[in-house]
Amino acid sequence: MVVGIAVAAGLAVWLLTSDNRDEGDGATAGMTHGESRIVAPGEVTALPDEAGHALYWAGDRNGAELEYNDTGGNVHIRYLPDGTPPGAPEQTFLDVGTYPFKGAYEATRELAGQKGMALVQHQDGVGFYDRTRPYSVTMAFHDQPDLQVEVYLPEKNEALKVVRSGDIVPLP
């Protein structure tokens, strides 16, 4: 029963955050609702305390500023090209979302086995992506069983490349 609830919660989070995923043709999708801001390099380590849970990111990236967007616990770290205003509606940038819910690891493991999903093995956890929309990889890690992480890029299989590179790690 607990596993069923966790899978249902994972599916709900995955579906509710689907507005961050591409509609299937590489076009932009809408940004999540919430107040966005650019984070100065010295502020990065304070973000998990602000969110109230661990956050994942893809590390520092040349030519990109970090945008922080908290929608009531679901946090997105977007990598905006220098000069792009926070809250820009385009979803053409690397986006790493961290979603807290009880049983996230188990739910992600179960969802990875669903029809149409491709399993993504990771040394520290498990993930999956929708074979028909390979713009987003959803993951969970052994050491944070109540967090789900989504990595999004609007070009086919680019999110998978970021995940496989090992760049997705907890914020320091």
- Dump pLDDT digits (tens) for 66-78: 999 999 999 999 9
Q: From 16, 87, 154, select the one nearest 8 (Cα to Cα).
A: 16
Model's pTM, two decimal places? 0.82
- The domain segmentation of the chain, as residue ranges, is 2-170
**For 127-134, which contacts have Cβ atoms below 8 Å and span 24 or more sequence positions?**
127/163, 129/159, 129/160, 130/21, 132/24, 133/21, 133/22, 133/24, 134/159, 134/160
Calpha distance 101→104 (Å, rounded): 6
61 confidence band (pLDDT: 50, 70, 90): very high
Distance between alpha carbon 52 and the CA centroid of its chain, in Å? 17
> Is residue 158 predicted with pLDDT exceeding 90?
yes
Number of other residues whose CB lies within 10 A of the CB of residue 132: 8
Question: What does the pLDDT read at residue 47?
Answer: 97
Those residues whose C-beta lies under 8 Å from the C-beta of residue 25, and which sit 6 or more positions away, are none
**Residue 56 backbone phi and psi in degrees, to 5:** -110, 155
Instruction: Report strand pairing: 125-130 vs 136-141.
Output: antiparallel
- Dump pLDDT digits (tens) for 19-45: 444 443 333 333 445 789 999 999 999
Share of the chain above pLDDT 70, in %: 81
